[in-house]
């Protein structure tokens, strides 16, 4: 029961953070120029837009290519943090059996028992060197990027009216191709990451997040859908190259099969011992 509650809390937190992103993204309507004042408009949004424009100039002013390359560059900068987060998640999965044992040991709902459970859980986290809240670290770091990208495109005239392939970057994709691609790449990355986990507890997030990405990007600018497609496409490639989830799944399945075989051998040995014991008594 506590596991279900925890998963629901994580889902609620994830969606709340994304909701905050897009509420904040809608803030600010005036164009951002070199004369814009304030840290957010005059420094963050303006320089973010200028970076996209500069990179686009390397590709014959293809602003879509500018968004893709800036996105990939940002994702590359986040590789150490993402790797640390994934390592933390793997360690969390490794201590799940101990966590389950603690919940069963302190299953009573009274205040004193629940306090003891929390203390034991914190001790287990500390001994294992993990932090249960680090899973949201990359998202928290990317939140300003989401907002900056959305506002830099929608508040910079040259980007707002820019075209890329079949879309206007400041308007929704009329054919929904980019939102669907963003959802597919998000699903691919989520599925690849779940392959490396020993438990299937993350299946809800694996399928809900891609759907959520599609639903929010088909109404917003194509630039944001392009960002999600490039970001999660790069993340999926990174997961394959750095984590090799296919190898991790094969090793986990082999280990589980070895454990099952050892359990079968133990049961056969017990049955044989019991049979021999009955024969002796006879």
Q: What is the pLDDT along the chain (282 residues), one digit of tens a residue?
A: 444 444 455 555 555 555 555 555 555 567 888 888 888 888 888 998 899 999 999 998 899 999 899 989 888 887 887 777 777 777 777 777 788 888 888 777 778 788 888 888 888 888 877 777 666 666 677 778 778 877 887 788 888 788 888 988 888 889 999 999 999 998 988 888 777 665 544 566 677 888 888 888 888 888 888 988 998 899 888 888 877 777 777 777 787 788 788 888 888 888 877 777 655 444
Any residues with CB less than 8 A from the CB of 152 and at least 6 apart, and which? 32, 45, 48, 49, 52, 159
Do 223 and 194 lie in one domain? The reply is yes
Do 125 and 136 lie in one domain? The reply is no
Residue 281, domain member (yes or no): no
Could you list the residue range(s) of the whole structural domain that residue 102 is in?
Answer: 96-129
Do 82 and 184 lie in one domain? The reply is yes
Residue 224, domain member (yes or no): yes
Of 60, 81, 97, the closest CA to residue 235 belongs to 81
Question: Beta strand pairing status for 167-168 and 163-164?
Answer: antiparallel
Measured CA to CA, the distance from residue 190 to residue 192 in angstroms comes to 6
Do 150 and 191 lie in one domain? The reply is yes
Which pTM was predicted?
Answer: 0.70
Residue 75, domain member (yes or no): yes
Do 24 and 85 lie in one domain? The reply is yes
Residue 55, domain member (yes or no): yes
Do 149 and 176 lie in one domain? The reply is yes
Do 156 and 70 lie in one domain? The reply is yes
Do 223 and 90 lie in one domain? The reply is yes
| Structure confidence at residue 181 (pLDDT) | 93
Q: 85-124 as b/e, with b when 16 or more CB fall inside 10 Å?
A: bbebbeebbebeeebeebeeebeeeeeeeeeebeebbeee
Look at the chain and report how many structural domains it folds into: 2
Do 239 and 138 lie in one domain? The reply is yes
Do 121 and 152 lie in one domain? The reply is no
Residue 280, domain member (yes or no): no
Last residue of a domain, one of 82, 106, 129: 129
3-state secondary structure of 163: strand
Residue 154, domain member (yes or no): yes
Last residue of a domain, one of 211, 226, 243: 243
Last residue of a domain, one of 129, 145, 179: 129
Residue 256, domain member (yes or no): no
Residue 282, domain member (yes or no): no
Do 170 and 234 lie in one domain? The reply is yes
54 CB burial (10 A radius; 0-12, 13-18, 19+): exposed
Do 197 and 121 lie in one domain? The reply is no
């Amino acid at each position: 029961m506590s596991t279900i509650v925890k998963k629901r809390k994580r889902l609620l937190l994830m969606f709340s953070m994304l909701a905050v992103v897009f509420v904040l993204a809608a803030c600010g309507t005036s164009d951002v120029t070199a004369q814009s004042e304030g840290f957010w408009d005059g420094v963050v949004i303006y320089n973010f837009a200028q970076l996209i424009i500069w990179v686009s100039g390397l590709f014959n002013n293809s602003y879509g290519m500018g968004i893709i390359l800036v996105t990939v560059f940002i994702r590359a900068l986040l590789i150490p943090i993402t790797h640390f987060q994934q390592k933390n998640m793997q360690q969390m999965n490794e201590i799940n059996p101990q966590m389950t044992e603690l919940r069963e040991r302190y299953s009573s709902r009274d205040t004193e028992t629940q306090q003891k459970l929390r203390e034991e859980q914190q001790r287990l986290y500390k001994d294992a060197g993990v932090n249960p809240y680090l899973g949201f670290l990359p998202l928290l770091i990317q939140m300003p990027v989401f907002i900056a990208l959305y506002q830099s495109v929608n508040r910079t005239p040259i980007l707002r009216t820019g075209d890329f392939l079949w879309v206007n970057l400041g308007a929704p994709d009329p054919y929904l191709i980019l939102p669907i691609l963003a959802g597919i790449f998000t699903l691919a990355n989520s599925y690849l990451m779940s392959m490396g986990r020993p438990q299937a507890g993350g299946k809800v997030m694996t399928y809900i997040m891609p759907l959520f990405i599609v639903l929010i990007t088909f109404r917003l600018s194509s630039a944001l859908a392009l960002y999600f497609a490039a970001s999660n496409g790069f993340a999926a490639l990174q997961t394959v190259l750095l984590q090799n989830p296919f190898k991790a799944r094969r090793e986990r399945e082999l280990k589980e099969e070895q454990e099952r075989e050892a359990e079968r051998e133990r049961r056969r040995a017990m049955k044989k011992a019991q049979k021999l014991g009955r024969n002796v008594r006879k």
